[in-house]
Structure 1
Amino acid sequence: MPERSSSRTDANLQVALAGEADANRRYIAYGFRALEENRPDIAQLFFEAAGAETIHALNHLKTMGAVGTTRENLERAATGEMEEIDVILPRMIRDAEEEGRPDAAASFRLALDRERHHRDMFRGALATFARGAPAAAPAPSRPGPRAAAAAPAAGP
Structure 2
Amino acid sequence: MAAPRPMTLDALLSAFGGESMAHMRYLLFAEIAEKEGFGNVARLFRAVAFAEQVHARNHFEKLRGLDLDAKVVAGAPFGPGPTSKNLEMAIRGEEFEVEEMYPAYIAVAEQQGEKQAALSFRWALEAEKTHAQLFRRAKEAVDRGEDLAIDGNIWVCPVCGHTYVGPEPPDRCPICGAPRERYVKF
Give the TM-score, by structure 2 length: 0.43
Q: Which has the higher contact order (CA 8 A, sep 6+)?
A: 2
Alignment partner of 1:139 is 2:154: yes
2:137 partner letter: G
TM superposition shift of 1:65: 7.1
CA contact (8 A) 2:97 2:128 kept: yes
2:135 partner letter: F
The aligned length equals: 90
Equivalents in 2 of 1:130, 1:111: separation in Å? 28
Identity over the aligned pairs, expressed in percent? 32
Between Structure 1 and Structure 2, whose CA radius of gyration is higher? 1
- 1:123 aligned residue: 136
CA contact (8 A) 2:109 2:118 kept: yes
1:77 partner letter: A
Cα root mean square deviation, aligned: 2.9
Give unmatched runs, 5+ long, in structure 2: 1-16, 25-52, 62-76, 161-186
Give the TM-score, by structure 1 length: 0.50
Following superposition of structure 1 onto structure 2, how do residues 3-152 of structure 1 map, counting pairs within 5 Å? 21=20, 66-137=79-150, 139-142=154-157, 144=158, 147=159
The 3 A distance-change label for structure 1 pair 92 and 65 is closer
TM superposition shift of 1:140: 0.9
Normalized per residue, the structure richer in helix is 1
TM superposition shift of 1:66: 1.2
Could you list the per-position Cα deviations for residues 76-97 of structure 1 after superposition, in whole angstroms to 9, with x for gaps in the alignment?
Answer: 0000100000000000000000
